[in-house]
Amino acid sequence: MEIPMFTVDAFTNLPFKGNPAAVCLIENELPEELYQKIAAEMNLSETAFVRKLKSTDYFCSGSRFGLRWFTPTNEIALCGHATMASAAVLFYRKENSNPEVVFETLSGQLRVRQHGESLVMDFPLNKPEVQDLNKFNKLLKAAVGDLPVQEVCYCKTTKKLLVRLADTCQRSALTSLSPVPETLLKTENSGRVKSVIITIKGAPNSQPGYDFFSRNFAPWNGIPEDPVTGSAHTVLAAYWSEKLGKKKMLAYQCSRRGGELELELRDDARVDISGRAVVIIQGTLKL
């Protein structure tokens, strides 16, 4: 069996920045255990599998495909950067002739369209609910140490815990965080939390005018830190839109690699997440 495989850096226009994802193009469903083995071998935060839905479809001309995402340890229900990476492969390497492609996923239909040099993903908006800080004392201590926390919210749909640091915290406080994955796992083992998003308010009046900053830690999915996370921004967009009174926002995820996301909330409880992507590796898996 030969499977076309690509590595794509998403949410960036520069190689070795943003968030890398592996993308595999498959003709039919694989044996279930093989998905996980390939993802573990790729050892990136996510590996995406783009599958033809009909034997008559072609990656260069089809408009609808199946899509699944796997971390090195498990399958997940929603992944932004690997969706963008999948669309980048179809548009940039397969020269797909459609203005938009639709992926059928565990999170429903996800549409991705080209807009200039960017790719725009149509994603569900996931609003988090405010929580009592005392319920997460140990996890907060493990994640942010003694930094002041202004608010904690939880999104049941995505199992993401959003931690907003006090507005007195500078961006440097966020970038200097280094939570220990094993400590996070030890302090939260109920299965309720699958990632911790830490965020601070930005400075939209400065250049380039980021509305907020964030980082995302997900050792529960085998990812100590996810460099740039589209799914986290379905939660962040809902939270910060309400706090800032804005429907259009510019966000930056402050991992070592870093990445920029443009967000626009729509009236149908969905959000457009825009960014750029660079295909840096193309090859073949021979199994």
Cα–Cα dist 232/248, whole Å: 16
Pairing of the two strands 129-130 and 223-226: unpaired
**Radius of gyration over every alpha carbon of the chain, rounded to an integer in angstroms:** 18
Residue that has been written with the tokens 């960036």 in this structure: 12
Cα–Cα dist 142/269, whole Å: 33
How many CB atoms within 10 Å of residue 89? 26
Residue among 74, 103, 75 nearest 88 (CA): 103
Q: Which two tokens stand for residue 84?
A: 């963008």
Q: List, in sequence order, every residue forming a beta bridge with 270; answer none if it has no partner.
A: 124
Pairing of the two strands 108-115 and 100-105: antiparallel
Q: Is 225 annotated in the active site? A: no
Which sign, positive or negative, has the C-alpha torsion 188, 189, 192, 197? positive
Q: Which two tokens stand for residue 118?
A: 């960017």
Q: Which one of the listed residues 2, 33, 46, 188 is annotated catalytic? A: 46
DSSP 45-95: SEEEEEEESSTT--TTT-SEEEEEEE-SS-EES--HHHHHHHHHIIIIIS-
Q: Which two tokens stand for residue 233?
A: 């921004």
Residue among 243, 105, 247, 128 nearest 196 (CA): 128
Would you name the residues annotated as active-site residues?
Answer: 46
